[in-house]
Amino acid sequence: MSSERTKRGLRDLVLSLAVVGLFVAFLFVVVWRPSPDPVRTVDPAPVLLSAREQAGYPVYAPTGLTGNWRATSARFEADGDATVWFLGYVTPDDQYIAVAQTDGDAQNFIEEQTLDGSPDGEMTVDGQVWQRYTTTDQRSLVRSSDGSTVVVTGSVSYEQLADFAGRLSA
């Protein structure tokens, strides 16, 4: 008699666990949602067109980037006498890189865009001399010409910044 009771108790335990397991699996299927890509992309073309129409200087944007580059931010702001153009990307390696440009106060703009970076020498890209800036989080290339200050900045190496800067065209 006790052997029958043990078998029945074991069978009831297994059935109870199966019911609970099915309930947990059902909840998992109903509640679980795949997490979307946290990077939201934007189309920079309309903002770039507007910036090029309104700015009093050649507005730079990269050309020839592969489809793996994702534009994440594009804005053009006119603040009194100064304008600011900004275009940010996530690289194929999930790094950050951006070009920012202004015809306003160069010193404040450089400090803001380089995160108060320290001068780190210079480098030549396509025959143009760029000043290098560095912080613990990012590197930047800076040059002033054609009535504006251009900053190429990001979490990538100086070589990658130089490649990006070499792709800039007005």
Here the tokens at position 112 are 């803001």
Average pLDDT in the chain: 90
Beta strands in 26-165 (DSSP E): 61-62, 70-79, 82-90, 96-102, 118-125, 128-134, 139-145, 148-154
pLDDT of residue 33: 75
Question: pLDDT tens-digit profile of 143-163?
Answer: 998 889 999 999 999 999 999
Q: Are 34 and 28 in contact (CB under 8 A)?
A: no
Among residues 39, 78, 85, the alpha carbon closest in space to that of 61 is found at: 85
With H, G, I as helix, E, B as strand and everything else as coil, classify residue 24: helix
Here the tokens at position 53 are 């129409």
CA–CA distance, 95 with 104 (Å, rounded to integer) = 28
pLDDT of residue 123: 96
Encoded amino acid at 8, one letter:
R
Q: Indicate the pLDDT class of residue 37, thresholds 50, 70 and 90.
A: low
Here the tokens at position 61 are 């944007």
* CA–centroid distance for 152 within its chain: 13
Question: pLDDT tens-digit profile of 81-102?
Answer: 899 999 999 999 999 999 999 9
pLDDT of residue 154: 96
Compare 31 and 104 and report the one with higher pLDDT: 104
If one looks up domain 45-169 in CATH, what number appears? 3.30.200.100
